[in-house]
Amino acid sequence: MPTGTLKVFMWVYSRENNLSILFSSIAVSFEVFRLRCGQDAFAALVFLFFLPGCRPPLYRGIIGLSLQGGIVTGVHIHARMDFFETKPGILEDTMAKEHLATRLHEKMKEVLLHPDLPGPSEHYYMIRGGSDMRNVTVWESGKVGDEYIKTYGHYHIGELDETYWILLGEGVALLQKLVEIDGKPQPDRVEEFKAVKVKTGDSVYMPSGYGHLVANTGSTYFVTADNSPVDLGDKDPISMPGHADYEMVRLMRGFAYYVVERNGAPALLKNPLYKEVQKTDFGGVPIVEQ
């Protein structure tokens, strides 16, 4: 067995009082969970195992617990093991792939400011539970060149809004609404663009009709929960859910602005592929020319 570092995080979400808490130590987590989170809640433990000098983690595990009336009503185990040897098929059968997905660097190249520069093999991890159990996303820290690690970004199909709860870390959320002509969105013309700085304990609302992405601008993992619906009957419901449109983001190689590091802090750099951005609210994030 190799020696390395095991990091354990726990977060809990209570539907009864809309309470989210994140723990980096699980010694007192379940006691606090029992006392503070009411009778209808969801908890998740995340295990990340690192070898010295090696990223991403070689082992990842997620254990979820659903509680109703103080009784455990569901246990959900998701795991991925890249180092330890297993017989073909055994690991895949236990991974519960219908809930866990990762966004690889190769895919993210489609929307990066510097697609030819190296980056982490995996940019972020998605655990899909849907609007009832919530979805959890974990971002890696760091940058590709000077651009912070971010989600791919997408627009919602239909009249669908969404709320993100920030469980750990700090970042910048980008929201943009496209110009429509005869009811058809124009990928290169933005009616409204907004940047929002977020940190642990904050929430950010994504209105219907607005595309969104979030960049991790901190030095730790960035972790969120959200209430976006997931239809497990979709073709690829975890990595590319059917309610999300990624194609217009891919065509423009990202959003109207990239979140980049300047002088040790986040800044916004204009994406030259966009022809027009009519209304802006940069939320105190500075604009840079290059």
Q: Are residues 83 and 198 in the same domain?
A: no
For residue 3, the SS3 value is coil
Q: Locate 29 and state its tokens.
A: 């987590």
Q: Are residues 267 and 125 in the same domain?
A: yes
Q: Are residues 63 and 127 in the same domain?
A: no
Q: Are residues 171 and 76 in the same domain?
A: no
Q: Name the nearest CA neighbour of 232 among 107, 165, 153, 133.
A: 133
Place of tokens 């519960």: 96
Domain finish residue from 78, 96, 114: 96
Domain finish residue from 75, 96, 117: 96
Q: pTM score > 0.75 for this model?
A: no
Q: Are residues 50 and 62 in the same domain?
A: yes
Q: Measure the CA–CA gap between 177 and 149, rounded to whole angstroms.
A: 22
Q: Are residues 230 and 154 in the same domain?
A: yes
Q: Look up the domain containing 40 and give its range.
A: 1-96
Q: What is the pLDDT along the chain (290 residues), one digit of tens a residue?
A: 344 444 444 444 444 444 444 444 333 333 333 333 444 455 555 554 444 554 444 444 555 555 455 444 444 444 443 333 333 333 333 334 457 778 999 999 999 999 999 999 999 988 877 666 788 898 999 999 999 999 999 998 888 899 999 988 999 999 999 999 999 999 999 999 999 999 999 999 999 999 999 999 999 999 998 888 876 555 554 455 557 899 999 999 999 999 999 999 999 999 999 999 999 999 999 999 98
Q: Are residues 153 and 290 in the same domain?
A: yes
Q: Are residues 43 and 115 in the same domain?
A: no
Q: Are residues 150 and 208 in the same domain?
A: yes
C-alpha torsion 45→46→51→56, nearest 10: 180
Strands (E), 128-199: 135-139, 143-144, 147-148, 155-156, 162-168, 170-181, 184-199
Q: Measure the CA–CA gap between 188 and 201, rounded to whole angstroms.
A: 34
Domain finish residue from 53, 80, 96: 96
90 alpha carbon, distance to own chain's centre: 28
Q: Are residues 213 and 229 in the same domain?
A: yes
Q: What CATH number has the domain bearing residue 240?
A: 2.60.120.10
Q: Are residues 87 and 64 in the same domain?
A: yes
Number of domains in the chain: 2
Q: Measure the CA–CA gap between 193 and 177, rounded to whole angstroms.
A: 7
Q: Are residues 87 and 149 in the same domain?
A: no
Strand order in the sheet with 135-139: 100-104, 122-127, 135-139, 222-226, 162-168, 203-206
